[in-house]
């Protein structure tokens, strides 16, 4: 099965008995689909508290790092977890988040043995960290967040990858690609991961070349302008739900109210089924991890 926006548009038109050239353009239907992702798909997935759309960004940790701006791709500016990475690459358990009004009351002296006793808080669009007086070289902070789904665009606005040769993804770049435009690399098969985010290419001749290789990139993937995607950016099992939701809205907008009423009933059933499908992907219960040296426990 293909998952491109072209396939999505064809499925919407087929399911809704919509003409190829009617009262709504393809670009407008994609905008409707984006709206349905925001209002229906995102609440379902985030509410299920599973690992869909989870991404992270690392920051070098030294004595000057007291603020981190939450990544611009973070859905609702929401931070999922913050961890620490030691010089050997080992990752800590999530560090404690404290209320903003109590942040200043905790002493940096609580922090020792690397990450034990470390804490953070959030103010506006920034993560606040306590002032460090001494940090061993090689430590970093890792911020996990829910990545905002990219905006759907036509396949013609992106480059289909025809091959991977070192740092180059071969293909025919559209005219909008230059060495000064930021690009994403989007996986064309489930789970539709964004393999590279917000990267400047060093060349757009005969394909797109980056300064480093793109991990896991394969023939059939796509390169697109940052924040856009020619691949429908929802879990595969939510695809049909998105099609139904988009058909319902398109029928309403174009005045086919009787057909829309029928599609609404189908949509209600589909949403109920998806709630069941989005049950935990790992059946075993999560272990509770307690940081004995957290600021709320004082080493007890």
Do 169 and 133 have their domain in common?
A: no
* Predicted local distance difference test score (pLDDT) of residue 109: 43
- Does position 289 have pLDDT exceeding 60, yes or no? no
Which of 147, 172, 198 corresponds to the end of one domain?
147
Could you report the per-residue pLDDT of 126-179, keeping only the tens digit for each? Answer: 999 988 777 778 999 999 998 999 999 999 999 999 999 999 999 999 999 999
Name the 3-class secondary structure at 270.
Answer: helix
Could you report the per-residue pLDDT of 216-243, keeping only the tens digit for each? Answer: 999 999 999 999 999 999 989 899 999 9
Total tally of structural domains belonging to the chain: 2
Torsion angle in degrees (nearest 10) through CA of 21, 34, 71, 123: 140
Helix, strand, coil abundance in the chain, percent, nearest 5:
30, 25, 45
Q: Which residue has the tokens 């940096």?
A: 108
Q: Cα(300)–Cα(291) distance, rounded to whole angstroms?
A: 10
Do 160 and 42 have their domain in common?
A: yes
Do 41 and 65 have their domain in common?
A: no
Do 143 and 153 have their domain in common?
A: no
Q: Which domain holds residue 181?
A: 5-49+149-236
Do 131 and 193 have their domain in common?
A: no
Q: Is residue 125 part of a domain?
A: yes
Do 141 and 158 have their domain in common?
A: no
Which of 220, 236, 252 corresponds to the end of one domain?
236
Do 24 and 162 have their domain in common?
A: yes
Q: What is the mean pLDDT of residues 36-56?
A: 84
- Does position 287 have pLDDT exceeding 90, yes or no? no
* Predicted local distance difference test score (pLDDT) of residue 22: 64
Q: Is residue 296 part of a domain?
A: no
Which of 236, 252, 269 corresponds to the end of one domain?
236
Other C-beta atoms lying within 10 Å of the C-beta of residue 85: 20
Do 143 and 159 have their domain in common?
A: no
Q: Is residue 272 part of a domain?
A: no
Strand ranges across the sheet with 168-170: 163-165, 168-170, 207-209
Q: What is the mean pLDDT of residues 90-95?
A: 91
Q: Is residue 95 part of a domain?
A: yes
Q: Chain-wide mean pLDDT for the chain?
A: 86
- Does position 213 have pLDDT exceeding 60, yes or no? yes
Do 158 and 41 have their domain in common?
A: yes
Could you report the per-residue pLDDT of 168-209, keeping only the tens digit for each? Answer: 999 999 999 999 999 999 999 998 999 999 999 999 999 999
Position 270 confidence tier, pLDDT thresholds 50, 70, 90:
confident
Q: Is residue 262 part of a domain?
A: no
Tell me 174's DSSP state.
Answer: -
* Predicted local distance difference test score (pLDDT) of residue 116: 63
Q: Is residue 282 part of a domain?
A: no
* Contact indicator for 230, 224 with CB cutoff of 8 Å: yes
Q: Which residue has the tokens 């010089």?
A: 87
Do 76 and 39 have their domain in common?
A: no
Do 106 and 172 have their domain in common?
A: no
Task: Report yes or no on whether pTM surpasses 0.95.
Answer: no
Q: Which of the given ranges, 23-37, 39-53, 134-148, has the highest pLDDT on average?
A: 23-37
* Predicted local distance difference test score (pLDDT) of residue 279: 64
* Contact indicator for 226, 182 with CB cutoff of 8 Å: yes
- End-to-end CA separation in angstroms for the chain: 55
Q: Is residue 34 part of a domain?
A: yes
* Predicted local distance difference test score (pLDDT) of residue 43: 87
DSSP symbols for 81-138: EEEEE-TTSPBPPPPEE--GGGGGGS-GGG-BTTTBT-EEEEETTEEE-PPPS---TT
Do 90 and 110 have their domain in common?
A: yes
- Does position 110 have pLDDT exceeding 90, yes or no? no
Q: Is residue 20 part of a domain?
A: yes
Percentage of the chain modeled with pLDDT above 70: 87
How far from chain centre, in Å, is Cα 26? Answer: 24
> What burial letters (b/e) apply to 138-176, b meaning 16+ CB within 10 Å?
ebbbbbbbbbbbbbbbbbebbbbbeebeeebbbbebeee
């Amino acid at each position: 099965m293909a998952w491109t926006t072209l396939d999505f548009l064809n499925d919407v038109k087929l399911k809704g008995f919509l003409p190829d050239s009617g009262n709504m353009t393809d670009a407008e239907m994609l905008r409707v689909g984006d709206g349905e992702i925001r209002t229906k798909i995102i609440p379902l997935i985030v509410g299920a508290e599973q690992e869909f759309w989870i991404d992270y960004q690392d920051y070098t940790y030294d004595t000057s790092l007291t603020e981190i701006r939450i990544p611009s791709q973070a859905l609702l500016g929401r931070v999922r977890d913050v961890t620490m990475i030691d010089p050997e690459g080992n990752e800590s358990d999530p560090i404690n988040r404290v209320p903003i009004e109590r942040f200043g009351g905790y002493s940096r002296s609580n922090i020792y043995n690397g990450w034990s006793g470390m804490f953070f808080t959030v103010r506006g669009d920034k993560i606040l960290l306590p002032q460090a007086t001494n940090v061993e070289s090689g430590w970093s902070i890792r911020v996990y967040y829910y990545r905002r789904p990219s905006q759907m665009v036509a396949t013609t606005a992106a480059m289909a990858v025809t091959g991977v040769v070192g740092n180059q993804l071969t293909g025919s770049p559209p005219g909008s690609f230059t060495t000064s435009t930021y690009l994403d690399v989007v996986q064309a098969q489930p789970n539709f991961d964004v393999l590279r985010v917000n990267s400047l290419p060093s060349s757009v001749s005969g394909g797109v070349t980056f300064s480093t290789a793109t991990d896991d990139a394969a023939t059939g993937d796509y390169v697109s302008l940052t924040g856009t995607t020619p691949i429908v950016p929802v879990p595969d099992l939510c695809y049909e739900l998105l099609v139904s939701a988009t058909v319902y809205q398109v029928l309403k907008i174009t005045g086919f109210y009787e057909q829309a009423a029928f599609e609404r009933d189908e949509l209600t059933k589909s949403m109920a089924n998806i709630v069941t499908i989005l049950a935990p992907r790992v059946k075993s219960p999560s272990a509770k991890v307690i940081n004995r040296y957290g600021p709320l426990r004082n080493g007890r």
